[in-house]
Amino acid sequence: MTPCPIGHTQIIEVLLLATGSIVPKRFVNILAIFLLLVLLSVSSVSQPGLGRGGSLLLASYTDITNKVTVSIKLTHPKEGSFFLEATFIPPSGYHLYSKDLPLTGITGQGRPTLLELPSNSRMQSIGALSENVAADMVGDEPDGPLVYPDGPVTLTLPIKLPLTRGWVNDQISLTYMPCSALSCKVPTIAKLIPVLVPGAFSVVP
């Protein structure tokens, strides 16, 4: 025998009867509407909410090894475009090195500032990494490393989101090293940051 479907109103009536409560039908209907709104609210919270022109904060932390503060967000500025943005804030009086620096620096000096996707990432890089400030030489050495001015640096990477719906567990790789005129702090090399990103079918194109 196929069971009859039971609506929210019937469920509330059964619960009230079980507790010995007798309430007007109108009150039962109000409770049913309230329950439905709560369920819809919970459902919407669990879904990705990245619309065109919006952004999502994916991660934010201060590195205990070198005191660099990092925030990572996913942006969707226009139709079909998605970008990862990482902002690096070194301690006061410190600078970061250019994204174009070799991985091992120049004669061992410095490390590049990088925002990358690991080889097993569900996201795909579809363009070159860009910077919001220009790097320059330090001192009079023509072959010296390129550095950014003291202060925050933001790197941007164009990407494709995973071809799925809902949330996707992924990782982002970060490299950076803060230095001052007198000393350098411990570099962070290819640090994997876990992030939760929306699938491409869950956002506004």
Mean per-residue pLDDT, 107-129? 95
HEC-encoded secondary structure of the chain: CCCCCCCHHHHHHHHHHHCCCCCCHHHHHHHHHHHHHHHHHHHHHCCCCCCCCEEEEEEEEECCCCCCEEEEEEEECCCCCEEEEEEEECCCCCECECCCCCCCCECCECCCCEEECCCCCCCEECCCCEECCCCEECCCCCCCCEECCCCCEEEEEEEECCCCCCEEEEEEEEEECCECCCCECCCEEEEEEEEEEECHHHCCC
Range of the domain at 38: 8-45
Look up the pTM and report it. Answer: 0.75
Q: Is residue 64 part of a domain?
A: yes
Q: Specify whether 27 is located in the same domain as 106.
A: no
| Same domain for 91 and 37 | no
Render pLDDT for 57-92 as a digit per residue (tens, 0 to 9).
999 999 999 999 999 999 998 877 999 999 999 999
- The domain tally of the chain equals 2
Q: What percent of the chain has pLDDT over 90?
A: 59
pLDDT tops 90 at residue 28: no
Per-residue model confidence as pLDDT tens digits over 131-177: 999 998 776 666 778 999 999 999 999 999 999 999 999 999 999 99
Q: Residues 153, 186: one domain?
A: yes
Task: Give the CATH number for residue 156.
Answer: 2.60.40.1250
Are 86 and 160 found together in one domain? yes
